[in-house]
Amino acid sequence: MRNKILQILRESRDNYISGEEMADRLGVSRTAVWKHIKEMRAQGYDIESHARKGYVLKETPDALLSGEIAHDLQTSVIGQNIICHEEIDSTNNEAKRLAREGAAEGTVVVAECQTGGKGRLERQFFSPKGKGIWFSVILRPKFLPQEAPKCTLMAAVAVARAMAEFGLEPGIKWPNDLLYENKKLVGILTEMSAEMDGINYIVIGTGINVNIEQSEFPEDIRDVATSLCMMKGEPLPRVKFFQAVLRAMDDLYAQVQAQGFAPVLQEWRKYSITLGQEVKVIGVRDGEIYFGKAADIDEDGALLVDTEEGRKKVLAGDVSIRPRSGKW
């Protein structure tokens, strides 16, 4: 109902519309309209009222609300259903719960704040209220389970495309972190439920540091984390940036469904700051350490590292990658 009222106010532009007319169009009472408008004001909408004229929408908040995100989104799959939370433990946990209950493909779960957000290797992800974009997308693709890890690279490319739209030069560290000046901007975690021959669902969780100032990061990550506003030198409109990410992801996912991952991997290479670099490879399970040059990624999205002993194939879940010296 609230989104329908918002749509009527948007369509009226700068013209007042009476509560009675909105009530008639929506089939509810004027009191119900008034209550919804009161709630919308509490969310940050600047809705002006006049005793004889009615209501007019003056300004919308830069808040992660379904009505704002969905407005003029124009995607085919991703974002057709948007579920927003003020606070949640983890958007990935909630998306997995919804996926198990049959939530539609393309459902987006987004929160203003996460209390238990995690990235790869169970690392905690700092997710402060109103400062970033913390979201998860549910996919139900037709491709085989072994293709799923490449969805992480697809998501990284989607954020990189959005950054480019806002005049920011993206750089992807294999496989999925976006960095600026060797500091982390974005983290991505892909999780899957599958059988031997098919995928039940994939959940892609993405955390984007948008308007966090350096002093707002906890001391233990202040030297390794950064944000889009620090990169640009001014705050970014979170809703518009989020829409750009969702549109890019929707476009890439349609491309993957039609052509496979080859075009996505090629675009990933364009944004990569890992390829061509001397790297230190650290085994997550066995602690093995070796050095080499990051030569390419293969058709599976695995990193190919040229060492003195020959070329090695590196899988994302098995290792941690560091620059051998200096910065990416």
Residue 114 labeled ligand binder = yes
The answer to the question of whether 92 is labelled as a binding residue is: yes
Half-sphere exposure of residue 6: CA atoms within 13 angstroms, side-chain side: 22
Q: Is 90 annotated as a binding residue?
A: yes
Single out the residue of 204, 303, 196, 294 nearest to residue 245, CA to CA: 204
SS3 annotation, the chain: CHHHHHHHHHHHCCCCECHHHHHHHHCCCHHHHHHHHHHHHHHCCEEEEECCCEEEEEECCCCCCHHHHHCCCCCCCCCCCEEEECCECCHHHHHHHHHHCCCCCCCEEEECCECCCECHHHCECCCCCCCEEEEEEEECCCCCHHHCCHHHHHHHHHHHHHHHHCCCCCCEECCCEEEECCEEEEEEEEEEEEECCEEEEEEEEEEEECCCCHHHCCCCCCCCECCHHHHHCCCCCHHHHHHHHHHHHHHHHHHHHHHCCHHHHHHHHHHECCCCCEEEEEECCCCCEEEEEEEEECCCCCEEEEECCEEEEECCCCEEEEECCCCC
Task: Please tell me the number of Cα atoms within 13 Å of 173 on its side-chain side.
Answer: 20
Question: Any binding-site annotation on 91?
Answer: yes
60 is an annotated ligand-binding site residue: no
Q: Which two tokens stand for residue 138?
A: 């549910």
Angstrom CA distances, 76 to 73, 92, 96, 321, stand at 9, 22, 21, 36
Q: Which residues are annotated as a binding site for biotin?
A: 90-92, 114, 184
